[in-house]
């Protein structure tokens, strides 16, 4: 039951990420940073793609993904279509990774050591979903504040 909910929630919220990126009226505004806003929508999107591919992709789907975390925050002017393609690929990887699990696996340790100590699979997946939503909210706010025509 929990696993089914996680599959549904990740898919829903990654599709919402796609929607948020598509809602930017001017593609260049994905990369605008002003005042005390440290990260733009484009970099937050790259960060979410990298994070989920690193943990669920490499950890559960055995994708072989190698994360370049610095690039998630330093790359600029990636096209909207490339971001959407990255989200679509992430949806597929997350689905594959989560669908490889059984409900009982949620009590096992996550296969990647994250915070220098083992963490239960269920807790890590909830953390990853919370992380997705935290940054999804930031992207929404960034778009509404800085997507000026």
What is the value of pTM for the model shown?
0.96
Q: Are 53 and 90 in contact (CB under 8 A)?
A: yes
Average pLDDT (7-13) is 98
What is the tens place of the pLDDT at every residue in 69-101? 999 999 999 999 999 999 999 999 999 999 999
The hierarchical CATH code for the domain 2-146 is 1.20.120.450
Say whether pLDDT at 149 is over 80. Answer: no
What is the tens place of the pLDDT at every residue in 55-66? 999 999 999 999
Say whether pLDDT at 1 is over 90. Answer: no
The tokens of 7 are what? 């599959």
With H, G, I as helix, E, B as strand and everything else as coil, classify residue 128. helix
pLDDT band at 23 (very low <50, low <70, confident <90, very high): very high
- Of 56 and 36, more confident: 56
Report the range of poorest mean pLDDT among 15-19, 31-35, 40-44.
Answer: 31-35
């Amino acid at each position: 039951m929990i696993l089914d909910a996680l599959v549904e929630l990740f898919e829903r919220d990654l599709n919402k990420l796609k929607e948020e990126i598509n809602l930017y009226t001017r593609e260049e505004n994905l990369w605008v940073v002003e005042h005390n806003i440290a990260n733009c929508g484009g970099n937050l999107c790259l960060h979410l793609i990298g994070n989920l591919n690193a943990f669920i992709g490499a950890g559960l789907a055995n994708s072989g993904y190698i994360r370049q975390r610095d690039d998630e925050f330093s790359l600029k002017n990636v096209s909207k279509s490339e971001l959407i393609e990255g989200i679509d690929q992430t949806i597929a990887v997350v689905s594959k990774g989560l669908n490889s699990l059984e409900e009982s696996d949620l009590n096992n340790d996550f296969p990647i050591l994250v915070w220098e100590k083992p963490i239960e699979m269920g807790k890590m997946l909830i953390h990853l979903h919370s992380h997705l939503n935290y940054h999804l909210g930031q992207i929404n706010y960034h778009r509404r504040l800085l997507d000026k025509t």
